[in-house]
């Protein structure tokens, strides 16, 4: 990869990638493999790699590299590959706006306010964490309430601790990982409390981060009040009813100085909104075709800005494809227009992409709304697959070949997940 | 050093008084117990400049409210804070309220409040299509306005400082004596001496006055909870919406803030603990149940953040602004609503009281009324941004993505008095957007540590005791 400055930044690029995390780096590589010559990756941090740089735990790469890597190791492999491939990298830079004719406006300390022309653009801005405001927790507003990701950054990159005695609300993967990390750092983790009756993290993280360290996970529980004027002093916790409302009569107090929030992720789509892309209200990301192209021709999206993934390996796979299709468009090549709209049916929270084409094998990612045991997933009336257990926290990857898709030419294809009927 | 005047309390009132006194050849110091000015009642104020007709002219409130209202346009221009005359609608939902609307209209007109009009339902629907169809009539007052109260406090104080007033934060008053016609004020930052003292200590004014036996008034805290709604509700209402007032409170309002978001609140609950700034389930329920009566589209699900604060309410409900039994000691107590509106008029009134007590007021030759104001990057054109970045590359280092705040702005805020993460947030909006500091807080902490020359773990949210991060167990500063 070539770090670029004012002298070497080109005026025109085949592909400009916004975001240098795992999605952006893979998109750049995918674009190179598909024949793009000038590729620019823009990242706001001083170093590429995105959120992986603060994920110092292992568990990355099991699918893509068939080995277990830490986050920084996984990122380094992609940075090195991009370096070898001659991709331009502009760090400490911020994309302010993209015009509908794909002029990318950015600012950077060395360049000032610059503009580059892109033949195609890949959006790979990732996601952000939901905060206290999103869940309306009454009480005081002291120091010591923060997202699990901010705590992870401060612990792993700045060598600071969020507190000494920590409670975690929400069982998202970052929260589970931080429960283990803070225990290893000598903090006392008093428990992980989850509003829903099931965990929102990967099963392997519940086992490896909580069970192995004796950290309790209490389901159907929420924080009903935060005490402490300057710094958190204690929390009132309460079980929730079927409508997820706290039952204050059964509430109890826990002393702690810190509350970490791991209550969900939101795709970071401010640029997408400025571009007026058509959005999917369920995923929070743009609607995309089978080539991962958004409603604005020439603009592609991949990774967590498109829909929140659980595994970086899936981000990589999706982004390699997005980069490849972006390169094709930049080089004047067009795939056939999708002719099968896809619809998320019973018990499906999301389904990406939003349309398919029968000319080639298609990869579909989906997520259920509610856990289902002995589930049957049906695609239209021709394809069926069984699962022992489907949970919202684990995304399903589905591939469909032309032999299935050809039958649905011009029809809306609906995917449903139902419990298997007992004979 | 002997000061002419010491002001105790750096809220909106104390800071407005500081700016007013800075016009004259006086040595003035302001003592604030919190880490920064405006961190008490003012920070949690609703941000409304009241139209002028609410309080009867027989009260001090009534006199200072309308005078204060008329001063804000010039103040906003001079001190460079956001200000908008959005106007207010006082709505009547029950036939019994109609007479009261008429009385308020007449009261306002008698005071000289301009533009008061009674609107019938078709007019209300045309101007505010999202308000309830059950509203019988509304009193429209175009003179009502909104500001960000903390920006006004910072503006008053900075202007006072540029005209020679000294500011001492983190400086609570522990003892106060009057010996040989001079006051000595004992604080952890040293002993201050003064010929006159203005007690603008807000919720703690009675306590401060008692140190001298000058507490000839009683106040108690009244708590208010406020709920900020998601930005996508922008435009749901474009006027301030008030219910017909009841004794002791103006009621729960819908507030289109100067930043374009909608806020609902406050509650009004008398209690005993001035430090209780908690929001509650019950308060939220009351706020949303109430505002839904006049705007059914508002729901608790739309809340993105919430806060609470207390104001001091005096016995008799009026402001207490008067010379105390102790010569040279002026009490400014019980400054509840419309205290923000009245604050610049309160400052004039206090100046007159000091003059009556013998303080000589000689106008300063070079008094600078206005501030330069910050370079708000987010509001600049591409050409202006290019020039800013060329002048200082720190303008290209974006700290807060949601509100597009750069490092140069954060550094500027610190140079102008921000000492805490909240201080930076309330000056430049870093951390006020949709991610609520998730991304920018780490950067803000690093910049604060660098500029203040302190380790990262000493950076606080809003002063000592609110440290945000702790050193690791094997690092210096860790507890044994």
Scanning B39-68 for CB atoms below 8 A from A yields: none
Instruction: Order the strands of the A383-390 sheet from edge to edge.
Output: A355-356, A340-344, A413-419, A372-379, A383-390
pLDDT given at position B475:
74
Give the residue carrying structure tokens 């952000």: A128
Scanning B364-423 for CB atoms below 8 A from A yields: 382, 385-386, 389-390, 393-398, 401-402, 404
Alpha helices, H only, B357-473: 382-391, 407-415, 421-428, 440-452
- Count other C-beta atoms under 10 Å from residue A183's C-beta: 18
Cα–Cα distance for residue pair A354/A15, rounded to 1 Å: 23
Stretches in chain A below the pLDDT threshold 70: 1-2, 5-7, 422-423
Among candidates B284, B397, B401 on the partner chain, residue whose Cβ is nearest the Cβ of A109: B397
Among candidates A150, A226, A229 on the partner chain, residue whose Cβ is nearest the Cβ of B438: A150
pLDDT given at position B390:
86
Positive or negative, the CA dihedral A372, A376, A380, A384 is positive
Contacts of A142 in chain B (CB under 8 A): 461, 466
How many A×B Cβ pairs under 8 Å? Answer: 134
Contacts of B393 in chain A (CB under 8 A): 109-110
CB distance B61 to B342 below 8 Å: yes
Among candidates B402, B436, B465 on the partner chain, residue whose Cβ is nearest the Cβ of A133: B436
Alpha-carbon distances of A419 from A200, A349, A366, A377, rounded to whole Å: 20, 16, 16, 9
User: Phi and psi (nearest 5°) for A308?
Assistant: -75, 125
Percent share of chain B, pLDDT over 70: 99
User: Phi and psi (nearest 5°) for A124?
Assistant: -145, 55
pLDDT given at position A410:
87
Please indicate whether, in this complex, the C-beta atoms of B398 and A110 are within 8 angstroms of each other.
Answer: no
CB distance B138 to B401 below 8 Å: no
pLDDT digits (tens, 9 = 90+) for B77-130: 999 999 999 999 999 999 999 999 999 999 999 999 999 999 999 999 999 999
CB distance B202 to B310 below 8 Å: no
Alpha-carbon distances of A154 from A91, A148, A178, A231, B418, rounded to whole Å: 21, 10, 11, 18, 22
**Exposed / middle / buried, residue A234 (Cβ in 10 Å: 0-12, 13-18, 19+):** middle
Instruction: Order the strands of the A348-352 sheet from edge to edge.
Output: A348-352, A362-368, A396-400
Cα–Cα distance for residue pair B117/B168, rounded to 1 Å: 46
Q: Residue A207 gets which letter from DSSP?
A: I
CB distance B90 to B138 below 8 Å: yes
| Tokens describing residue B5 | 């005047």
Please indicate whether, in this complex, the C-beta atoms of B435 and A129 are within 8 angstroms of each other.
Answer: yes
pLDDT given at position B52:
94
CB distance A387 to A347 below 8 Å: no
Catalytically active residues of B, by annotation: 50
Among candidates B386, B466, B469 on the partner chain, residue whose Cβ is nearest the Cβ of A113: B386
Q: Average pLDDT for residues B302-323, to the nearest whole number?
A: 94
Check whether B477 has a pLDDT greater than 80: no
**Exposed / middle / buried, residue A252 (Cβ in 10 Å: 0-12, 13-18, 19+):** exposed
pLDDT digits (tens, 9 = 90+) for A29-76: 999 999 999 999 999 988 999 999 999 999 899 989 999 999 999 999
Please indicate whether, in this complex, the C-beta atoms of B438 and A153 are within 8 angstroms of each other.
Answer: no
Please indicate whether, in this complex, the C-beta atoms of B466 and A44 are within 8 angstroms of each other.
Answer: no
Scanning B287-306 for CB atoms below 8 A from A yields: 300, 303-306
Q: Tell me the three state secondary structure of residue B49.
A: strand
| Tokens describing residue A359 | 């000319």
Q: Tell me the three state secondary structure of residue A198.
A: coil
ipTM given for this complex: 0.92
Among candidates A113, A132, A268 on the partner chain, residue whose Cβ is nearest the Cβ of B436: A132
Residue of A nearest to B300 (CA): A136
CB distance A14 to A34 below 8 Å: no
CB distance A401 to A361 below 8 Å: yes
Cα–Cα distance for residue pair B411/B303, rounded to 1 Å: 31
Q: Tell me the three state secondary structure of residue A208.
A: helix
CB distance B442 to A154 below 8 Å: yes
pLDDT given at position A82:
92
Cα–Cα distance for residue pair A179/A208, rounded to 1 Å: 10
Check whether B385 has a pLDDT greater than 60: yes
Q: Report strand pairing: A145-147 vs A258-261.
A: parallel
Cα–Cα distance for residue pair B250/B54, rounded to 1 Å: 9
Beta bridge partners of A144: none
pLDDT given at position B480:
47
Beta strands in B142-268 (DSSP E): 145-147, 166-168, 175-179, 182-187, 190-199, 219-229, 240-243, 253-256, 262-265
pLDDT digits (tens, 9 = 90+) for B166-212: 999 999 999 999 999 899 999 999 999 999 999 999 999 999 999 99
Cα–Cα distance for residue pair A321/A290, rounded to 1 Å: 10
Q: Does B82 touch chain A (CB under 8 A)?
A: no
pLDDT given at position B420:
97
A145 Cα to chain B: minimum distance (Å): 9
CB distance B326 to B198 below 8 Å: no
3-state SS track over A338-351: CCEEEEECCCEEEE
Q: Average pLDDT for residues B211-238, to the nearest whole number?
A: 93
Beta bridge partners of B167: B30
Give the residue carrying structure tokens 């329920």: B285
CB distance B22 to B371 below 8 Å: no
pLDDT digits (tens, 9 = 90+) for B402-443: 888 999 999 999 999 999 999 999 999 888 877 777 778 999
pLDDT given at position A179:
98
Interface test with B, best of A54, A106, A160 (most B CBs within 10 A): A160
Please indicate whether, in this complex, the C-beta atoms of B281 and A248 are within 8 angstroms of each other.
Answer: yes
- Count other C-beta atoms under 10 Å from residue B231's C-beta: 14
Nearest to B349 by CA among B377, B376, B330: B330
Q: Which helix (H) or strand (E) holds A326?
A: helix A312-330
Cα–Cα distance for residue pair B38/B14, rounded to 1 Å: 9
Please indicate whether, in this complex, the C-beta atoms of A143 and B467 are within 8 angstroms of each other.
Answer: yes
Of residues B231 and A248, which shows the higher confidence score? A248
Contacts of B389 in chain A (CB under 8 A): 107, 109, 112-113
pLDDT digits (tens, 9 = 90+) for A18-32: 999 999 999 999 999
Cα–Cα distance for residue pair A153/A60, rounded to 1 Å: 18
Nearest to B266 by CA among B281, B245, B238, B286: B286
pLDDT given at position A1:
47
Contacts of B303 in chain A (CB under 8 A): 133, 136
Cα–Cα distance for residue pair A377/A165, rounded to 1 Å: 43
Give the residue carrying structure tokens 């709920």: B227
Q: Does B441 touch chain A (CB under 8 A)?
A: yes
pLDDT given at position A206:
95
Contacts of A107 in chain B (CB under 8 A): 385, 389, 395-396, 398
pLDDT given at position A7:
64
Q: Report strand pairing: B145-147 vs B83-84.
A: antiparallel
Q: Does B310 touch chain A (CB under 8 A)?
A: no
CB distance B172 to B201 below 8 Å: no
Contacts of B281 in chain A (CB under 8 A): 138, 224, 246, 248
Contacts of A136 in chain B (CB under 8 A): 284, 300, 303, 306
Alpha-carbon distances of B187 from A405, B169, B212, rounded to whole Å: 79, 11, 15
Contacts of B401 in chain A (CB under 8 A): 44, 94, 268, 270
Q: Residue B465 gets which letter from DSSP?
A: T
């Amino acid at each position: 990869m070539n770090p670029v400055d004012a002298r070497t930044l080109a005026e025109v690029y085949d592909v400009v990638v916004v975001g240098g995390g795992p999605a952006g780096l893979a998109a750049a590589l995918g674009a190179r493999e598909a024949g793009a010559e000038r590729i620019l990756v823009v990242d706001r941090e001083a170093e590429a790699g995105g959120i992986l740089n603060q994920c110092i735990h292992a568990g990355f790469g099991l699918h893509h590299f068939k080995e277990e890597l830490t986050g920084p190791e996984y990122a380094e492999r992609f940075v090195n590959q991009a370096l070898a491939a001659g991709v331009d990298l502009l760090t400490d830079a911020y994309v302010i706006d993209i015009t509908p004719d794909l002029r990318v406006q950015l600012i950077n300390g060395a360049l000032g306010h610059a503009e580059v022309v892109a033949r195609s653009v890949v959006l790979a801005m990732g996601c952000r964490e939901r905060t206290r405001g999103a869940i309306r927790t009454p009480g005081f507003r002291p120091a010591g309430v923060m997202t699990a990701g901010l705590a992870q950054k401060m612990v792993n990159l700045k060598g600071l601790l969020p507190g000494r005695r920590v409670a975690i609300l929400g069982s998202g993967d970052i929260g589970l990982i931080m429960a283990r990390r803070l225990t290893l750092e000598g903090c006392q983790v008093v428990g992980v409390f989850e509003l829903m009756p099931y965990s929102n993290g990967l099963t392997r993280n519940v086992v490896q981060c909580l069970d192995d360290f004796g950290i309790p996970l209490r389901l159907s529980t929420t924080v009903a009040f935060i005490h402490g004027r300057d710094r958190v002093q204690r929390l009132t916790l309460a079980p929730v009813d079927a409508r997820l409302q706290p039952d204050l009569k059964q509430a109890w107090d826990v002393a702690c100085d810190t509350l970490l929030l791991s209550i969900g992720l939101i795709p970071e789509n401010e640029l997408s909104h400025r571009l007026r892309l058509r959005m999917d209200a369920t995923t929070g990301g743009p609607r995309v075709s089978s080539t991962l192209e958004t409603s604005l021709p020439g603009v592609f999206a991949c990774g967590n800005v498109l829909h929140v993934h659980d595994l970086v390996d899936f981000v990589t796979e999706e982004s390699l494809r997005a980069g490849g299709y972006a390169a094709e468009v930049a080089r004047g090549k067009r795939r056939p227009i999708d002719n099968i709209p896809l619809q998320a049916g019973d018990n499906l929270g999301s389904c990406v992409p939003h349309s398919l084409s029968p000319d080639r094998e298609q990869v579909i990612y989906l997520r259920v709304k509610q856990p289902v045991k002995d589930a049957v997933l049906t695609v239209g009336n021709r394809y069926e697959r069984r699962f022992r257990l489907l949970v919202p926290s684990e995304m399903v990857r589905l591939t469909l070949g032309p032999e299935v898709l050809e039958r649905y030419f011009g029809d809306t294809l609906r995917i449903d997940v139902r419990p298997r009927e007992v004979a | 050093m002997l000061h002419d005047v010491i002001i105790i309390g750096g809220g909106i009132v104390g800071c407005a008084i500081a700016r007013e006194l800075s016009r004259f050849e006086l040595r003035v110091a302001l003592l604030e117990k919190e880490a920064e000015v405006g961190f008490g009642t003012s920070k949690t104020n609703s941000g409304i400049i009241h139209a002028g007709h609410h309080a009867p002219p027989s009260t001090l409130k009534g006199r200072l409210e309308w005078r204060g209202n008329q001063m804000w346009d010039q103040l906003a221009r001079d001190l460079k804070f956001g200000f908008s005359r959005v106007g207010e609608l006082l709505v009547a939902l029950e036939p019994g309220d109609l007479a009261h609307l008429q009385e308020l209209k007449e009261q306002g007109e008698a005071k000289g409040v301009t533009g008061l009009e009674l609107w019938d339902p078709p007019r209300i629907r045309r101007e505010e299509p999202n308000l309830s169809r059950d509203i019988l009539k509304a009193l429209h007052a175009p003179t009502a306005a909104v500001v960000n109260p903390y920006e006004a406090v910072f503006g008053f104080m900075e202007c006072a400082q540029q005209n020679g007033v000294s500011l001492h934060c983190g400086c609570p008053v522990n003892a106060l004596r009057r010996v040989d016609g001079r006051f000595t004020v004992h604080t952890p930052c040293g002993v201050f001496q003064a010929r006159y003292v203005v007690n603008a200590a807000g919720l703690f004014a009675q306590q401060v006055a008692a140190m001298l036996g000058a507490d000839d008034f009683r106040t108690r805290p009244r708590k208010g909870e406020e709920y900020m709604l998601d930005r996508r509700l922008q435009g749901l209402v474009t006027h301030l919406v008030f219910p017909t007032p009841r004794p002791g409170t103006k009621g729960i309002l819908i507030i289109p803030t100067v930043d374009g978001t909608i806020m609902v609140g406050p509650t009004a609950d008398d209690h005993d603990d001035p430090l209780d700034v908690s929001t509650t389930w019950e308060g939220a329920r009351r706020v949303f149940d109430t505002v839904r009566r006049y705007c059914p589209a508002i729901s608790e699900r739309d809340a993105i953040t919430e806060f609470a604060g207390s104001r001091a309410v005096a016995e008799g409900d009026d402001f207490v602004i008067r010379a105390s039994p102790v010569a040279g000691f002026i009490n400014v107590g019980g400054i509840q609503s419309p205290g923000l509106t009245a604050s610049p008029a309160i400052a004039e009134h206090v100046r007159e009281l000091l003059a009556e007590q013998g303080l000589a007021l000689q106008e300063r030759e070079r008094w600078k009324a206005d501030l330069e104001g910050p370079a708000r990057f987010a509001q600049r054109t591409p050409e202006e941004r290019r020039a800013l970045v060329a002048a200082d590359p720190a303008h290209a280092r974006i700290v807060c993505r949601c509100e597009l705040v750069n490092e140069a702005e954060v550094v500027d805020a610190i140079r102008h008095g921000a000492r805490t993460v909240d201080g930076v947030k309330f000056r430049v909006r870093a951390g006020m957007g949709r991610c609520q500091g998730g991304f920018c807080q780490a950067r803000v902490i690093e910049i604060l540590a660098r500029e203040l020359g302190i380790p990262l773990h000493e950076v606080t949210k809003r002063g000592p005791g609110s440290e945000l991060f702790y050193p690791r167990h094997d690092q210096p500063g860790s507890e044994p």
